[in-house]
Amino acid sequence: MNFDLLIQLIVNGIIVGTLYGVVAMCFVLIYKSTKIVNFAQGEFLLIGAWTCWALLVKFELPFYVSFPLTLAFMVVFGILLQVVVLRPMIGEPIISVIMVTIGLSMFFQALVAWIFGGYTKAYPKVFETESVNILGLQIESAYIMSMVISLIIMIGFYYFFKYSRLGLAMRATAFNQQIAQSLGISVKHVFAASWAISAVVSALAGVVIGMVNGVSSALSFIGIKVFPVVILGGLDSIIGSIAGGLIIGVLENVAEFFDSQWLHIGNMYNIAPFYALVIILMIKPYGLFGTKDIERI
């Protein structure tokens, strides 16, 4: 048994897992405040990463200009999406809402592939990347950077929900829309804000992953991988999404390890999370931290 490889893979899993956690947090943010399941979460990453790439490469803007521009674009994009497409869907049955986001995902995936082509494109070097030796493990500095950024985002979220006015309004809306409204919170603005924040933070994650691995349509698959994460953590739990992200990130790497060592089934890296998903749904459908639905007649 190759012990070093296992540890290396687990570390990789934690790094990837924090990114999953960030994306899952964005997903949970939308679900908690607007009760919409966003199947287009992966496209947020994709659009953010491509926008930043286009500003850097096509318009040759420096990173410190193009990055804020990307984030500003995503704010507008998120709000527009909510106002134009999702506001008419309030009160519709759940399948309609799911299908609208699936339709959006399909539309934007094709649009982005049309504009930017189907091939992976590398980001220009923004930061120096080199291998760093930490406790005998070779870790690329880009990964460390991505992990630091993810941690900053998570801490930022914590303070945002704990202390900021908008964050408190969002929590109130998530708790009960009617009560929030009667306290003078504009539910409309909260909905728009949660989509905007979700789009911005996802785009940030997209740019980070793009810098490490290059941008391609494969980025949007993270939007699908988010489902095992949020189901494991509980659909409406921010803490759960971080824990779920870490567990799924480690799980897929460990599954890959066991597969390459003994099982030789292949493709375990991509499929293991879905097996885990089905098992969790059978045993504990509300996840580790999710609130249980109790139905009364």
Partner 1 sequence: MASAHSRMRCGEFRTTYQADMTIFPTPLARRTAVGSVLLLLAAPAVLDSYLLNLLIQIGYYGIAALGLNIVVGFTGQISLGHAAFFGFGAFASAWLNGTTGIPVFFTIPLAGAMTMAVGLIVGIPAGRIKGLYLAIATLASQYILEDFFARAEWFTGGSAGAMANPFTLFGYEFFTDQTYFYVVLFYVVVMYLGGANLMRTRDGRAFVAVRDHYLSAEIMGINLTKYRILSFGISSFYAGVGGALFGHYLGFVSAEGFTLLLSIQFIGMVIIGGLGSVMGAMMGTVFMVLLPEVMEFGVHLVGSNNTALTQALAYIKEMAIGLAIILFLIFEPDGLAHRWRMIKNYWKLYPFSY
Residue 46 contacts partner 1 per CB under 8 A:
no
- Provide the residue type at 99 as one letter: M
Residue 109 contacts partner 1 per CB under 8 A:
yes
Residue 113 contacts partner 1 per CB under 8 A:
yes
CA distance 241 to 141: 25
Piece in contact with partner 1 (CB under 8 A), picked from 69-77, 96-104, 151-159, 190-198: 96-104
Piece in contact with partner 1 (CB under 8 A), picked from 3-11, 66-74, 174-182, 227-235: 227-235
User: If you count them, how many residues does the chain have?
Assistant: 297
- Provide the residue type at 78 as one letter: G
Residue 271 contacts partner 1 per CB under 8 A:
yes
Q: What is the CA angle 104-27-269, rounded to 5?
A: 90
Residue 96 contacts partner 1 per CB under 8 A:
yes
User: 204 CB contacts (<8 Å, ≥6 apart)?
Assistant: 22, 48, 71, 149, 153
Name which of 93, 23, 9 is nearest 242 in CA terms: 23
Residue 102 contacts partner 1 per CB under 8 A:
yes
SS3 52: helix
Q: Are 255 and 270 in contact (CB under 8 A)?
A: no
Residue 285 contacts partner 1 per CB under 8 A:
yes
Among 45, 47, 100, 185, the residue binding partner 1 under the rule CB under 8 A is 100
List the alpha helices (DSSP H) in 134-186.
141-163, 165-175, 177-182
Piece in contact with partner 1 (CB under 8 A), picked from 1-9, 135-143, 200-208, 274-282: 274-282
Residue 119 contacts partner 1 per CB under 8 A:
no
The residue among 42 and 206 lying less far from partner 1, judged by its C-beta, is 42
Q: DSSP labels for 236-297?
A: T-HHHHHHHHHHHHHHHHHHHHHIIIII----HHHHHHHHHHHHHHHH-TTTTTPPPP----
Residue 174 contacts partner 1 per CB under 8 A:
no
User: 283 CB contacts (<8 Å, ≥6 apart)?
Assistant: none
Query: How buried is residue 296: exposed, middle or buried, by Cβ count under 10 Å (0-12/13-18/19+)?
Result: exposed
Residue 262 contacts partner 1 per CB under 8 A:
no
Residue 111 contacts partner 1 per CB under 8 A:
yes
Residue 151 contacts partner 1 per CB under 8 A:
no
Among 129, 177, 213, 270, the residue binding partner 1 under the rule CB under 8 A is 270
Minimum distance from residue 241 beta carbon to partner 1 (Å): 14
Residue 175 contacts partner 1 per CB under 8 A:
no
Residue 291 contacts partner 1 per CB under 8 A:
no
List contacts with partner 1 (CB under 8 A). 37, 85, 88-89, 92, 94-96, 98-100, 102-111, 113-114, 224, 227-228, 231, 235, 265-267, 270-271, 274-275, 277-278, 281-282, 285, 295, 297
